[in-house]
Structure 1
């Protein structure tokens, strides 16, 4: 890193974190000097998963905009933002990191520790899965590094920050996706209702859930909502990667109407569909998935493992309501992503816009710290994140040059703004610093997603 006098010291870059944006951020002494005024942040994603690589590209898009001449060359025309792109995959083929880490949560924890303690980043965009996010955040919580996840939705994460947060003492774990406390109620309500493609209410369910932070918390929230609203039985089957086939068999043999499958692992969801398709006892059962299934990697498969389409017509599933191209902010994001990464996958895939927003949220936190704090630290960035959802403030559309300019003008004067993201309005509550979203029920239509029902964020609807 570079000191105020311009003298730069070669950082000890670990193999997991050799990629950066800009790509020459640490390439040579001259490059390090060129970027000496940049604020360096981190990102942590499992690069084995094509969808997560898209999210990483969305982050690069956001910071390419921040740093561009069209957007005023960074913060106050002086400071760009660079990002260290760390891989949280396990240490196995095709990756060879030499650290022997065999658990995803361990890989996320190790990279977050390095970013916080060695590179002294004020903020990290990530992590991808709730369990990995929890492990990484708890490992660096004492360092006061902001972490903004685009996709970790476990309700458990809400409790990792102090119960009472303020402008002076904010929380450090944020996310641009809503917690599953509302999604669980939407699942229960949909199962117990008739209409929107359901001809019979479901009152007994088998629940297959991965034994991790995301899946366990969502299962427990669903169980309570389902039984409290008229459901009669939930037969649970917790599973690991090694016991998935056994859980599929047990759920198939259970005397239930529907099977709920909860996992954020795309490969496990794909494997479930392939295993269940070979069993006759799934012929009389319907299936319910959560938001992770809303991707072609699950419904179509990959070059390594295709998905058997036999059970696709049986699927109902939830996801936070996605924006459409009719929304100008989302449309601008999709267009910019496609232009920058023409072979970079589908910008409309789940949580890709959330990753873009997470990067911009961090940029805005950094900008607040630049204008209003003595230095750019995690605490200053976190204080800035509490200045993004003022309904009486000026609106700043994320990804637009005018929105970036508006935000900086307001921050110079110490005023809060009201952001509008590509993924949604991102109305962060000042009580728990969570955002919300309406929940969409979707079915599979020719390996695409057809929305059949929308549950609003107002939870009163789910208690009727």
Structure 2
């Protein structure tokens, strides 16, 4: 991938951090998020579920707290596949500290019923997991992060982006970039398309309002204006709302050039209302919480040329094929989305490498070595568990560079650099990858 640093560069102050975004010259054609890559046909995987009574005294226990239910359940297959494939690769290379790693699954639900994630977190704490991979929702992580911290359980989210979680706890980490990076990328995309007056349909959720605030800052920095749903206007809607006639009417009355939808499953009710009121859906922008396949939900062409952003690199075909193989082998299903799969894979691999470096599967020891194996202190580059573990065994410092393309962890326990993918919906209402923007954070 060749980066054209002179193509686009914007720098702005975001809280204590300076976010620099450089358009990466990645040719289009990365494929739709829905199109199943050709299976490699070379691997068959089995479940690595932990046996009853498994202990971190002699085994790496990988807990997952991912959305099996709720309005983010569509993210469970790719995220679980990333974790499962990573564990398969780890075990194929000899496991961690002499024994195969295993997986304990818990449900994170969503922010409409936080009792689900509370119970899921307690399940993993009681099991004494070495690491908890999740949650997908930032609001869910804000609900459970204190529980994990009190129990000294390392949590690594592959998908959280809320700025409120930056540096929140020494036991909280993420392999997804904060909203400051995606917000700047989205704002650049919107204004770069010639839109000056922008409306937001945003739910009152830490993820939604945080991403709105950063996007609004970028729009205003470019000379644009938020005409509906702006920060401080009090026009957010509650999570779980199912009808949007009044919100859409008010947004359209502001005469926007473009509308940004910041929501999860509520999006499926917002889109028909926009269509019913005659809005040009090609002037709609989505984000990672709702840039997904709507082929079965709406008539062909409904979302054609609408755009969205998803943090993360576009996985290559070889990696996609291996994810497909894992999901087919273990879940007996067809994997049709790859959102946050690479970030889940890297979160799991980094935890395993930290355990190898610590010579311990205890979560506090994993936490103490995560930054080092990510390359925060430099070290020899390696891109897979087997090679990295061998370097550690030889007494060398390492810099793991996995399929997500993130940079080493910074002092806020999040990527020092990461990619934001730009997607455009085709005639079948499916998002197709176009290019990537690389964001860098410094504090």
2:73 paired with 1:53: no
Match of 2:402 in 1: 421
In the TM superposition, what is the alpha-carbon distance from 1:357 to its structure 2 partner?
2.0
Q: Is the 8 A contact 2:83 2:348 kept in 1?
A: yes
Match of 2:289 in 1: 292
Q: Structure 1 66/314 Cα, relative in aligned 2: closer, same or farther at 3 Å?
A: closer
Picking from 12, 22, 27, the partner of 2:48 is: 22
Which secondary structure does the structure 2 equivalent of 1:160 belong to? Answer: coil
CA distance in 1, matches of 2:262, 2:345: 25
Which secondary structure does the structure 1 equivalent of 2:289 belong to? Answer: helix
CA distance in 1, matches of 2:50, 2:287: 39
Match of 1:65 in 2: 89
Which secondary structure does the structure 1 equivalent of 2:201 belong to? Answer: strand
In the TM superposition, what is the alpha-carbon distance from 1:342 to its structure 2 partner?
7.8
In the TM superposition, what is the alpha-carbon distance from 1:379 to its structure 2 partner?
2.2
Query: 5+ unaligned residues in a row in structure 1: which ranges?
Result: 1-19, 27-31, 91-101, 162-170, 398-402
| 1:366-385 map, 5 Å | 366-370=355-359, 375-385=360-370
Query: 5+ unaligned residues in a row in structure 2: which ranges?
Result: 1-45, 230-234
2:359 paired with 1:355: no
CA RMSD of aligned residues (A): 3.0
Report the structure number with the largest CA radius of gyration: 1
Which has more helix, going by share of residues? Answer: 1
| 1:144-183 map, 5 Å | 144-161=152-169, 171-183=170-182
Q: Is the 8 A contact 2:176 2:312 kept in 1?
A: no
CA distance in 2, matches of 1:388, 1:256: 47
Q: Structure 1 45/338 Cα, relative in aligned 2: closer, same or farther at 3 Å?
A: closer
Q: Is the 8 A contact 1:42 1:83 kept in 2?
A: yes
Picking from 428, 432, 438, the partner of 1:456 is: 438
CA distance in 1, matches of 2:259, 2:119: 36
Match of 2:17 in 1: none
Match of 1:254 in 2: 254
CA distance in 2, matches of 1:364, 1:234: 48
Q: How many residue pairs get matched? A: 384
In the TM superposition, what is the alpha-carbon distance from 1:367 to its structure 2 partner?
1.8
Which secondary structure does the structure 2 equivalent of 1:311 belong to? Answer: coil
CA distance in 2, matches of 1:433, 1:36: 26
Q: Is the 8 A contact 1:45 1:126 kept in 2?
A: yes
In the TM superposition, what is the alpha-carbon distance from 1:383 to its structure 2 partner?
1.8
In the TM superposition, what is the alpha-carbon distance from 1:413 to its structure 2 partner?
4.9
Match of 1:203 in 2: 196
2:122 paired with 1:113: yes
Q: Is the 8 A contact 1:208 1:259 kept in 2?
A: yes
Match of 1:42 in 2: 63
Q: Is the 8 A contact 2:131 2:154 kept in 1?
A: yes
In the TM superposition, what is the alpha-carbon distance from 1:54 to its structure 2 partner?
3.5
Which secondary structure does the structure 1 equivalent of 2:58 belong to? Answer: coil
Picking from 225, 233, 236, the partner of 1:232 is: 225
What TM-score do you get using the length of structure 1 for normalisation? Answer: 0.74
Match of 2:307 in 1: 316
CA shift digits 1:254-291 (9 cap, x unpaired): 3211111112x2x22222222222222x1487211112
Q: Structure 1 347/59 Cα, relative in aligned 2: closer, same or farther at 3 Å?
A: farther
Match of 1:126 in 2: 134
Match of 2:232 in 1: none
In the TM superposition, what is the alpha-carbon distance from 1:387 to its structure 2 partner?
1.6
Which secondary structure does the structure 2 equivalent of 1:292 belong to? Answer: coil
Which secondary structure does the structure 1 equivalent of 2:129 belong to? Answer: coil
Which secondary structure does the structure 1 equivalent of 2:119 belong to? Answer: helix
